[in-house]
Amino acid sequence: MKNPFRSDSPAAAESRPCVLVIFGASGDLTHRKLVPALYNLELDGLLPAQFSLIGAARRDFQDDTFRSGLEKSVAEHSRRSPLDRDVWQEFAAHSYYVKCPFDEPSGYQALKEKLDEIDRNAGTCCIKVFYLATAPEFFDNIAGHLAGTGLLDSSSDPQCKPRVIVEKPFGNDLSSAKSLNYALLRHMTEDQIYRIDHYLGKETVQNLSVFRFSNGIFEPLWNHQYIDHVEISVCESIGVGSRGGYFDTSGILRDIVQNHALQLLCLVALEPPVSLDADAVRDEKVKVLRSVRRIRMQNVADRTVRAQYLAGSAAGEPVRGYLEETGVPAASKTETYVALALAIDNWRWAGVPFFLRAGKRLAKRVTEISVHFKNVPYLLFKKEDVPSLNPNILSFQIQPDEGISIRISAKPPGPKVRVQPVNMDFRYGTSFGAEPPEAYERLLLDCMRGDATLFTRNDEIEQAWEIVDPVLEAWQDASTGVPVYGYEAGSWGPVEADQLLSKYIGKGWHRL
C-alpha cells in the first residue's frame, strides 16, 4: 500500500510539511472539488510529507462528523473510484474541523491553537495555506481576522510564508475588484495571494504554452501574416441548475469570459516569456490584456451578442427556459450566452479578430480554441474542378476528448485530382494512456510549493475587468438598444452569433 505521508516518498521528501485550512468547509466546492483533489494527490503520493487539512466553517461539527461527510463526497466525486479505504483512513486521520464563524475572533484563536499544535507535532513550522472557498463578501473579513490573529505573518523562515487562495468571483466589475484587491493587500502582500482560475490548472490549457514554445514549426506562423482569425468557445450543456439566484447577478460574461475565456485568449496570444517564472508569464499575459481594444459604448451592439436559453431539450429530455429556472426573476435580462468580437492592437495580432463565445444549455459540453490560418495564395487546382480550398485549422480541444488536431487538405485516392479536408489528430487518452488530473489537483499542489505561475495576478484581473466593464455598462443602458436574443436549449446558440462572425469573416462559427 502506498503511504503518501511517509517521508521517503520522492514527491513528499522534496516538500515541507503543510497545513491547508479551508474556509467554507461545509460548502459545495470543498466537497465536490477540493477534497476529492486532495485525495487524488494522496493516491499519487504527491502531497507534502505530514500534510494536514483543517476545515473551518460556522457549523457545529466534530472531527469525526467532518471526516465522514468528506468520505461520502470523495467516494461520490473522486475521478478515481472505488475509494481506497487505507489511503482514505490515513488522509482522514490528519483532517480536523475547527468551528469558526467568520466574524468571531474566538474561532480564529481556536484555529491558531490547532495550527500551533500541528507545528509542535511536526517539530517545525508547517506551511499554512488558507483557502477562501466562501462567498466573496467574507473575503475581507476573514483576511482581516487571520492577520489580526497573526496567522498571516511571515515567520523568520521565508519559505514558510502563509498563503491565501481566493476563489472567484474576484469582484463584480473593475471598481469592486480594485476594492477587493485593496482590502486583501491591507492584510498581506501580493506574493501571498493566489487567485484561482481553475482553467489554468487544466492539463490541456497548460499544454498551450508547451505546444507553442516547444515546436519549432508553428511559432513562425503565429501572427497576422498567416493567421486569419481565432475562435474560442466555452460551451456547456448544463443550465444554471440550483445556482439560478447567484447566476442571475452574474451572467455568462462575468462567470466565464472575464476569467476563463480571457485567460485562454492570453495563452494563445502572448509573446514568449523570458522564463517560466510566475511573474515572467504573468507580465506577458498582462501585455496581451492591455492590447485588447476596449469596446466603446457605441460599438457594443456591433461587437457583442447576448442571449438567454429558452425551453428546449438536453440529453433527450425536455428542459425549461432560463426565465423559468428557480431563483431567476421573470423579467431578468441576464445573459446565459455571449459572443464577442475582439481585436488585439499589437504588432503580432493587428487585424486578426479573436471571437469568443460562452453559453449554457448548448448542444454539447465542449471547450475549444481554433486557430484559422489564411488560405493559400493561389488555387492551383481550378482546372481540376476544385472550386475552393478549406483553410488549415489548428484546434485545441480543452475538454472533453482532450487533444489537438490540424485540418489539412489531402487528395483522396483515385485517378481524378480532388481535394478533401482531413484531420491529423493527437488525443491525450491514446498518446499518454492516462486520464489528465483535475485542475484543482495541480493548483493546490502549486500553491503548497509556492509556485504562483498558474494563478492570476492583481493587474491581470483588473485588465480583464477593463475589457468587460464597458460591455456590461452598455448592456445595462437601455438607450444602447442591445437586444437579449433567445436560443433554444440544446442548440448552438442564437443565429445572431453566427451573423456577428459573418460580418468579419463571411461565415459563422466553426462547427464543434
Give the residues lining the site for ligand BG6 (CB under 6 A): 236, 255, 367
Task: Work out how close the CB of 501 gets to ligand BG6 at its nearest, in angstroms, rounded to a whole number.
Answer: 23
Residues whose CB is less than 8 angstroms from the CB of residue 190 and which lie 6 or more positions away in sequence, other chains included: 457, 458
- Grid cell, residue 229, equals 482569425
Residue nearest to ligand BG6 according to CB distances in the complex: 255
Of 240 and 419, CB closest to ligand BG6: 240
Residue 360 DSSP symbol = S
Task: Work out how close the CB of 255 gets to ligand BG6 at its nearest, in angstroms, rounded to a whole number.
Answer: 5
Of 367 and 370, CB closest to ligand BG6: 367
Of 49 and 307, CB closest to ligand BG6: 307
Q: Which residue in the block uniquely carries the three cell numbers 508547451? A: 210
Task: Work out how close the CB of 260 gets to ligand BG6 at its nearest, in angstroms, rounded to a whole number.
Answer: 6
CB atoms within 10 A of CB 430: 9
Of 332 and 367, CB closest to ligand BG6: 367
d(CA 50, CA 261): 37
d(CA 413, CA 208): 34
- Give the containing element (helix H, strand E) for 394: strand 393-399
In Å, how far are 8, 122, 143, 184 from 127, measured between CA atoms? 19, 11, 17, 20
d(CA 491, CA 362): 5
Residues whose CB is less than 8 angstroms from the CB of residue 325 and which lie 6 or more positions away in sequence, other chains included: 239, 240, 244
* Known catalytic membership, residue 260: yes
- Grid cell, residue 312, equals 428546449
Name which of 263, 509, 494, 271 is nearest 372 in CA terms: 509
* Bridging pattern class, strands 18-23 and 403-410: unpaired
Task: Work out how close the CB of 224 gets to ligand BG6 at its nearest, in angstroms, rounded to a whole number.
Answer: 30
Determine which one of 94, 260, 372, 510 is catalytic. 260
Of 236 and 325, CB closest to ligand BG6: 236
- Grid cell, residue 243, equals 445556482
Report how many helices (DSSP H) and strands (DSSP E) the chain contains, helices first: 18, 17
d(CA 284, CA 158): 27
Of 16 and 168, CB closest to ligand BG6: 168
In Å, how far are 61, 266, 435 from 10, measured between CA atoms? 35, 34, 22
Task: Work out how close the CB of 399 gets to ligand BG6 at its nearest, in angstroms, rounded to a whole number.
Answer: 6
Task: Work out how close the CB of 334 gets to ligand BG6 at its nearest, in angstroms, rounded to a whole number.
Answer: 13
Positions marked catalytic = 260
